Structure 1
Amino acid sequence: MTFCDSKPILTPLQALARYKEDLSVRLADNSMGVLPGVIGTVYFERGSQPAVRQAILDCFDRFEEMFGEHLKGGKDTDLGKFTKRTFAGVEKIRRAILETPAHEQVSVLRSSSTDQDTAAEYSIKTLTGIAADEDYVSPKGWTASKGQESGLSYLKFNVPMDLVTTEDGITQYEGFLRYVCEKLVVHGGYGGLAQILAYSYHRYALHEWALAKRFSGLEVDSTAHLQSQEYDPISYEGESLDHMTAFYPGLHLGAKVGRWGFIKGVSWYTILGELFVERLGGEAALRKALDRPDIHIAHIGSSLLIRAGDFPRLGAPEEGLPEPYVFVNSVLRVLRDPKPDGLNLYNPHLPHTDTKNAQTWTARFDLPDAPPIPEPPTIVPYSVEHKPVRHSVPGDSPCPEAG
């Protein structure tokens, strides 16, 4: 699918020159509450396990190697203070990643900001799942074995939009995104332009939504840490999820679908894990469907990285919808949730948080004649059984799984 479009195409440099002030919020003290940036968000498995915790630390260390001159602050626990970090403070973040027990979440952040009210040009953060620390039998009869993971973990990083105004900067961004996907078993994710909100982001949610409606290439991603379940299918037996007699991580043949698993949508980079690649007929079929010179596909680790165009697009009003995004979306759109939840924490006084507006936003790259996205099955069909990925490891390496 191609179509001619005489509208201008803004490079990141041109988009930034024209719209930097529109994409920013400057506070009374001249600090920034919102900045234009480029994000990478991935959802990955086994985040409670020692080998994966080490891989997370490797990602943090690589980010430090690449951008450490900008990194000044951080947090080492979910409820801990966001502060300026000395060498000892950075080591506390590193130890938290490795030494937090498997039955507790790792929630840490490294940032160019030293407080929660200032948007960070550079940042990397993670929130992991947990593993059951003992066998559990529910009153209804379903069981969870010791070591069973609670769900997917998440890692997100951002760099300033200025970085991708040069080829070297794009190479840096892409290199780090690929490194993350090499290190972690990624089920899905995305990367592209977004507004970078201060850590205390709630006051800027309406601003984020308003600009996302104006610039189609911007991600709405301030609550990415709450979206991991969307990528994480589960199934069960029993009357309902509240009255289960058996529970299965992944999709179990003949069981009822608790969560089918969906992608958020398409961005400059769209990352698909094995489950989603299989739903599109496999890697060869997907490569054939997206066979175009400006669409780049790379198999990194357990996932496919699909890049729509040579650089991220803002989708400014004068540009219209970025055509490479529309093209990739025409193939991948069936992987989206036909009934997505709101894009931010629900607030009845803010329109952007309801399902209708979320559905409109996630469908922004759909063509007018696009058919409805199919509803997921209620029972796991025999053709799509999918269980958590298991990988071999080299000799003398720690096993990434419990048990």
Structure 2
Amino acid sequence: MSIDETTKPVVLTPFAAYARYFEDLSVRLADNSFAMKPGVIGTIFFAHGGTPEGRQALLACFDRFDEMFGEHLVTGKDTDLGKLSRRDAKGVEKIRRAIIETPFDEAVSVIRSSAPNSKMAPDYQIRTLTNITNLEDYTSPEGWTSPKGREIGYSYLKFSVPMELVTRPEGQAQSEAFLRYLCEQLDVRGGYGGLSAVTAYDYHNWQAQEWAIAQRFSGIEIDACAHLSTHEWCPDSFDGTEERMTAYYPYLNPGSNVGSWGFIKGVNWYTLLGDLFVERLGGDAELRKALDRDDILIERINHCVLVRAGPFPRLGAPEEGLPEPYVFVNEVLRVLRNPKPDGLHLYDPHLPNADSKHARSWEARFDRWDAQPIPQPPKIVPPPPEKRRNSVQGGSPCPEAGWWYTHAMQGSRRYFKQGEIMPAIEGSKWGATYWIWAPSQDSAK
């Protein structure tokens, strides 16, 4: 055996990881059923869940999941406080109607699942908890107003499929295709996807077990309480003080106080970045440049960029160490995390879990030992950075309507319409022609 062979890092495929560690990733009940099972999840946070268009898109996502995996889905829930129960065709239609017909000032909270009851972990599931929209103008006791039609917060959607499914290439392709479909249909602002220990719906009973598994396997996502973390992703700001606000904004209003800056949770196999986070990294081009490697997939779908760290999800078992593609992606994206995250579990002083202290170390698990501290967010929303525009080579269509100039010809400043071909100047001493954005006459001097 050569030296290279002995020092080559161990990489477990999903098939190898499943075969070796299924029992370690599971919690069996006395009747041999499972309260926790390994699966592949997709968790997203999206806007417009409290609008007619958002609800129609959400219904399309549930219908697509049913088309793909409906043969496994036997139970469901159509209200937040409802009981998970077996569903025939009429029961499924009731869930569909709840998505569309629930008033927009009330949250939609529905589930389709393969679990026979709430005590057993599902193999297949899709669930959502939406945000709400003001049906009329609201005036707070402090005097600030929230106008009719304004959304409050982000919505949440999660799906999971069994880990066994992605041990086959066609199964992995199905899981990835559905994640992309969600990004095509919904206004996704962030999220993630990868391996997770999927718990039963009485998840509060299994926090300690989920925490123990996540400590041992770095690729496992802690996600039982993901529906409680929408505020981490969602930015907002206000005027006045926290005790006496004079105005509230469900976005970052320049010059106002930061309420929530908006953070990602970390990285996994898939990390989904809304425009807010992409802009903080310098834009699409800078992100692609920073992550330019053959095994890293970067794909934009509407207002979201999907970053895939490696060709398949990694378990991060002890013999593997930290999955190197995850470490590589984390080095670029880590600045988007919260330096002081909230806990990832419900508070329980009697059992170890992902409280705020543990959440901070867990989210930093892919950081290099010499990584710099994550910067603290500002307290006042800064003005937006000036938009950066790349130069355009002559012969190319104009990317943005406005005034442009080129050094290749004196007096070249002119207005181009978007899509208009920007000419190449022949015989110029400057060589190839490049057109430069000129917002004012001074810019062309």
TM-score, scaled to structure 1: 0.93
| Residue-by-residue CA offset, 1:223-254 (whole Å, 9 max, x unaligned) | 010111111000001122x3211101110010
| Residue-by-residue CA offset, 1:252-282 (whole Å, 9 max, x unaligned) | 0100000000000000000000000000000
Q: Distance in 2 between matches of 1:114 and 1:127?
A: 21
How many pairs does the alignment contain? 381
* Cα shift at 1:7: 2.3
Q: Distance in 2 between matches of 1:326 and 1:45?
A: 29
Q: Please say if 1:304 is aligned against 2:301.
A: no
Letter in 1 for 2:9: K
* Cα shift at 1:81: 1.3
Q: Which has the higher contact order (CA 8 A, sep 6+)?
A: 1
* Cα shift at 1:140: 1.3
> Secondary structure of the equivalent of 1:103?
coil
Q: Please say if 1:161 is aligned against 2:163.
A: yes
Unaligned runs of 5+ in 2: 1-5, 387-445
Q: Distance in 1 between matches of 2:150 and 2:302?
A: 23
> Secondary structure of the equivalent of 2:24?
coil
| Residue-by-residue CA offset, 1:280-328 (whole Å, 9 max, x unaligned) | 0000000000000000001112100000000000000000000000000
* Corresponding residue of 2:186: 184
* Corresponding residue of 1:341: 342
Q: Distance in 2 between matches of 1:179 and 1:76?
A: 23
Q: Please say if 1:294 is aligned against 2:295.
A: yes
Alpha carbons 1:351, 1:357 under 8 Å: kept: no
Matches within 5 A, 1:2-401: 6-240=8-242, 242-383=243-384
> Secondary structure of the equivalent of 1:155?
strand
Letter in 1 for 2:357: K
Alpha carbons 2:273, 2:306 under 8 Å: kept: yes
> Secondary structure of the equivalent of 2:136?
coil
Q: From the superposition, tell whether residues 360 and 384 of structure 1 become closer, same or farther in structure 2 (CA, over 3 Å).
A: farther
Alpha carbons 2:211, 2:354 under 8 Å: kept: no
> Secondary structure of the equivalent of 1:284?
helix
Q: Distance in 1 between matches of 2:326 and 2:260?
A: 26
Q: From the superposition, tell whether residues 168 and 353 of structure 1 become closer, same or farther in structure 2 (CA, over 3 Å).
A: closer
> Secondary structure of the equivalent of 1:163?
helix
Letter in 2 for 1:313: R
> Secondary structure of the equivalent of 2:359?
helix
Unaligned runs of 5+ in 1: 386-403
Letter in 2 for 1:270: T
TM-score, scaled to structure 2: 0.84
Q: Distance in 2 between matches of 1:203 and 1:356?
A: 20
Q: Distance in 2 between matches of 1:353 and 1:263?
A: 17
| Residue-by-residue CA offset, 1:190-219 (whole Å, 9 max, x unaligned) | 000000100111111100000000000000
Alpha carbons 1:347, 1:353 under 8 Å: kept: no
Q: Distance in 2 between matches of 1:5 and 1:132?
A: 60
Alpha carbons 2:211, 2:352 under 8 Å: kept: no
> Secondary structure of the equivalent of 1:352?
coil
Q: Comparing 376-385 with 50-59, which one deviates more in the overlay?
A: 376-385
Letter in 2 for 1:341: D
| Same amino acid, percent of matched pairs | 63
* Corresponding residue of 2:408: none
Q: Comparing 134-143 with 220-229, which one deviates more in the overlay?
A: 134-143
Alpha carbons 2:226, 2:344 under 8 Å: kept: no
Alpha carbons 1:119, 1:196 under 8 Å: kept: yes
Q: Comparing 356-365 with 4-13, which one deviates more in the overlay?
A: 4-13
